[in-house]
Amino acid sequence: MTDTQKQDDQSQAADNQAKPKRETDNGEKANPATLKSQIDSLRQARQERAVLEAQRDEAQMQQARAENRLNAERLLMSVGVICPQDARVLLEQQLDLAEASDEQLTQQVQQLVLEKSYLLGPTISPDAAMPTMTSSSRDNTGPATQLAAVAQRAAASGNRRDIAEYLRLRRQMTTN
């Protein structure tokens, strides 16, 4: 062997030591084609993982949005809104329900009810309610009893207005 052959052998040995041996799990030397296919499958698995994570995030956002819609409708119903679905649509125009906290939702519901009071429907006072069919009229006494009651009040109080009312009622009764 010549000196050049010895140097070539030594450089090959050094190169072999510098390069790690690519072996499979069985201890066999790895084929570059199988390594490439494994790398491709890893890349594909990472892409699938990224797609699945994006789908998971989208599903979580949809779930949060649905839960906030239900919470909004419950709040609106507890406030006394006539149509919670319509009020929720108005609320969605003011606030993104997917990202809203419970506190923000409560504040926006209160503001919505203050701004749009028609959502609560008409408010009827008990005095303004229509009388029932069986209720009696206010003046269920006849003219003679009414005149006697006014005469008694005028005599007891001595007030000019009460006396004038008594005289007016008496005049009406005599002319009729």
pLDDT exceeds cutoff 80 at 126: no
- How far is residue 32's CA from residue 23's CA, in Å, rounded to a whole number? 10
Q: Model confidence over 93-113: pLDDT tens digits? A: 888 877 788 888 888 888 888
Same domain, 114 and 147: no
What pLDDT does 53 receive? 96
* Number of domains comprising the chain: 2
Q: Assess whether 48 and 97 both reside in one domain.
A: yes
SS (H, E, C) the chain: CCHHHHHHHHHHHHHHHHCCCCECCCCCECCHHHHHHHHHHHHHHHHHHHHHHHHHHHHHHHHHHHHHHHHHHHHHHHHCCCCHHHHHHHHHHHCCCCCCCHHHHHHHHHHHHHHCHHHHCCCCCHHHCCCCCCCCCCCCCCHHHHHHHHHHHHHHHCCHHHHHHHHHHHHHHHHC
Whether residue 111 sits in one domain with residue 46: yes
Could you tell me if residue 65 is inside a domain? yes
Is the CB of residue 83 less than 8 Å from the CB of residue 111?
A: no
Task: Please report whether residue 170 resides in a domain.
Answer: yes
State pTM to two decimals. Answer: 0.45
Residue 151 lies in domain: 143-176
Average pLDDT for 7-14: 59
Q: What is the pLDDT of residue 123?
A: 61
Domain annotation covers residue 81? yes
Angle at 119 between CA 115 and CA 120, to 5 degrees: 105
Q: 70-96: per-residue pLDDT in tens?
A: 888 888 888 888 888 888 888 888 888
Both 86 and 148 in one domain: the answer is: no
Phi, psi of 134, rounded to the nearest 5 degrees: -95, -5
